[in-house]
Structures are given as C-alpha cells and as structure tokens.
Structure 1
Amino acid sequence: MNNNHVKESLLEYINRNLDSQTEKSVRQHLASCEACKKECDSLSNWWTALEQLPNEKPSEAVREKFYQVLQEEIEATQQLKAYGYQKPKRSWLELFFPQQIAGRFAFALVILVLGGLIGYMMKQEPKSMPIENRTEITQLHEEVIMMNRLLTVSLLQQQSASERLKGVSLSYRSEGSDPEITAALLQALKYDPNVNVRLSALDALSRNLNQTDVKQELLETLPKQESPLVQLAFIDLMVQIREKSSVDILKRMLKNPEMNKSVKQRIEQGIQELNS
C-alpha cells in the first residue's frame, strides 16, 4: 500500500470506518512507515482534542476573527467563478468532517489563527519570550502545516468534484511551496476528469511559477489539455508571465485541425503578444 493511499484512508482508519481488509493493510503499512505513522498520530491527537472541545460560545473578538478567516477563504476562490465554478452550499468543514463536530473544528480553527497572530506578535520581541514558549509555538506551527497538507491532499483524492475543488481552495493556505501539495495539484491538472478542478488547480499552481520544475510541468501539460476553457486559461497564463518558451508549443497546437476556433484565435493573439 503506498503512502498516498494510507493518507487518504487515515481519517476513516482513526474512526474505524474501514472494512477489515483495508484496516489491516493500513495498520501493516503504519507499522513499517515512520512518516505515515507520525501523521496518523498527529491527526489522531487533533481528532481527540476536537471531540473534547466544550460547546462554548466564542467571544465577539473570536467571532470577528472567524468571519475574517471565512472572508479570506471566499477571496481565495473568487477567480474560480470566472470559469463557471459555483461554491457548494456546504462548507468545506461539512464536506470533510462529520457534521456533529464541524462547528467545533471551526472554533478550533479560530483558536489556531489567533495563536498564529500571538506568535507573530511575540516574534517582534524575541528576547521577551521564554525558550520553552518558542519551542511550543514552533511545534504547533509544524502540526498546523502537517494538518493542512493532509487535509488538502486527502480532499484532492476524493471522488466528489466539489470536494476536490475544496482541496484546491485549501491549498492556498499552504505556506510557500509544499512538495506534496504541489504534486497533488499537478496530478489534478493532468488527470482530473472535471474541468473546474483542472482550472482551479492551474490557478493554484500559478503561485509557484518561480520553481523551474513546476513551470516545466505546466509547459509539458499544455498541449495535452483538450478542454477549450483549460487551454484558454493556459494561454492567458503564459502571456501573463511572458513565457516565451511556450511560443513553439503554441505554434504546434495551431496545427491541430480540430482546435476550437476561439482557442485558435487566442493562440495567434498570444503568440503576437509574446513576440512583441
């Protein structure tokens, strides 16, 4: 059993929702893979903590911060709407977590955000913060990064297109370039059957174009895309970043007799812009 399959099954494994054969396979893999075991233990600890959270009403300050987080999530998906993506009626928490604890996790998310803000303020005066506190904040930060990675990759592997879209949206919260998240986004861009998922994956990957390997992957993927919408988005991106190495690829695409007329016109225009 490979790592990705284990990660996709971790939540169900922790909640004992797997069939006996799959559960046995996951258990055997965890016994031999330290990295997956570490992620499983971390996720299990988070899950236990979430279930123990009291049903208390957050303060007005926490409420305001929560709405700020939600607004950031909305803004992160605004560009998807230009390509026909419609926001699901359920929140990403409800899409991924059981409904009875979704509210508790939302409150826990707010606490984490506030913790990050406190950590940022403490960095302004590092001498005033005890070493043990700095260590705890670093550990918490690493756990949050791991949790975000696990949730993002898991969502991108779900059967529902709306859940995979939520995985792309969640990837915007990753700090810098996470290799596992980038690999999952590239996989979605190349092979996802849903056009909206491929469009949103392309948009998310456009943040990492400073990486040569990511840009090269995009250039290799461009001529393999068959959806006119995805082709147009690719062309617009190449023109936007002034990627002159894409000109030869675009010229080869023009030779396709089945090329969509609008795409063909945009390619011709894009080549002119890139050569100017």
Structure 2
Amino acid sequence: MTTPQLSICHDLEALLPAYVEHSLPAAEADRVAVHLATCPSCQRQVSQLRALTDDLDAALPEVPRTALRANFMAMLEQQKALLAPEAAAVSAPAPAVAKVVSMWPTAIVNNWLRIAASIVLVAAGVLLGRQLPWGGRSSGGLAVGTAAPTTGATPDGLAQALEGGDGRSVSASNRIRLVTNSTKETEPGDPAVQVLINTLNFDPNTNVRLAACEALYRLRADPRVREALVHSLPIQTDPNVQITLIDMVVAMRVRRAVPQLQRLAKRPDALPVVRAQAEAGIGKLI
C-alpha cells in the first residue's frame, strides 16, 4: 500500500532535475524545498543529481557565446568578398609579352579552393560546436544593430514574430535575438517550446537553427526537448547543426539517439568529420 509520503515523493520526483538546475518556477521550487526538508530519500536523489551536474560541468569546456559564432560567419563572408577581386585579377589575361601556360587546369584549382574552404568551415564548426554550453552554463544574447520584434507571452506571439506577422520578412539576426530572448519568458512545459522545435527543424538560416538548439538546451527539463533533438538529427544537413545536435544528445545522455547516430555515421552525403563525430557519440552513449 502506498503511503502519503511515498505518493508525495512520486509526484515530486520528476521535478528534482529542474530543481537542481534552478529552472523551476518559484512556487514549484518552494514546494520541492519544503518536501526535501523532511525527506531523506529525495535529499539523496538531489545530492546525486548535483554530483552528476558537477561532473558534466567539469567535463565540458567553457565556450564562446552565440555572438562569436555569428561574428565568425560574418568574417568568413567578408573574406570571401575580399578574395573575389583577387581571383578576378588572377584570371585576367597577362600582357602579350610572354604567354605562360598553367600546368593546373582552372577547374582543378577551383575544386581545391572549394575543398579547402569546406575544411576550414567545418573545422571551425567542430570547434565552436564542441564548445557550446552543453553543461548548464548560460549563453548571452546576440547584439544586432536593429531592434527585434517582441515575442509576446504566447506561442502564437513568438511564431508570428519569427514569421513577420505584419507581412514583412524578419531578418536572420532578429530571428536569432527572438529565439535567444524567448527563453526568458518560457518555462519547461510551455507551448512556446514547440515553436522553438519548429524553428530548429525548418528555419532556412543555419545560425537561427543553432540559436534554437541553444534555447532548447536551456529548456531541456521539458520532456519534448530530448525527443525533438533525436528526431531533428536526420532532418539537418548543415554540418555545424549536425555536430551541435550530436554534442547535445551526448551531453544529455540521450541513449535513444544511438540508432539515429548510427544512421548518420553511414550517411554518404554527410561530411567525414560529421560521420566521425557521430561514431564518437555512439561510443559515449553505449
């Protein structure tokens, strides 16, 4: 027969992880604190959860903020723009003093340039993706030059703000700010979590999808988040988002992600660094 004390423990057990992470609403946190004062069993669970959180914090490196990743992408675009005139100058015909025939066809040179650019981009993505705050540390918002629309207090308000309810398109930088700021008004269990999941899966901009990843990680106490991250793995095609999702499910110990990681590790269209990261993730989860 279940005693009243055991019934209370059972009801509050699901709230303990969020209580340890200080993500519960004030009323729920007070309720848990009152129960813990008289329940040794739940006290032990809280101690174990805190020890696990400390271990994860120690294992995961400190990381750059979202702004750094966006600044890197902006810098990359600037470098590409600077290289364009130089490439045009190289391809311009030389004066008719002497004709030098290149040993390397233009197509081969262009292919090597593409390969080199891909390696640099993916390497930066691996570095920044590994260093995202998948250990409970918060990430600051992205500073942009124009004011972003307000999200409102409802999922419809956030969705309309992201899509541009007045018929005007919302820039990627403003969508990043909306997604980042949404966690200030959203708690685990809020319907707005589904809007963030949809943004992760369907927004056309890579940086916006990465911002949605971070926002969902901060709301990881919501049971929908783990399932959403697992289901998003086969949807994503950008290597930075793929690597970020792999690191997140590994940090959260989502073992049901293993089948999706196995498929990703064998996907012929995935970059080698992504397949290697998926294989490493499988080894950590099994």
TM-score (norm 2): 0.47
| Greater length-normalized contact order (CA 8 Å, ≥ 6 residues apart) | 2
Please say which structure displays the higher CA radius of gyration.
2
TM-score (norm 1): 0.48
Q: Relative to total residues, which structure has the larger helix share, 1 or 2?
A: 1
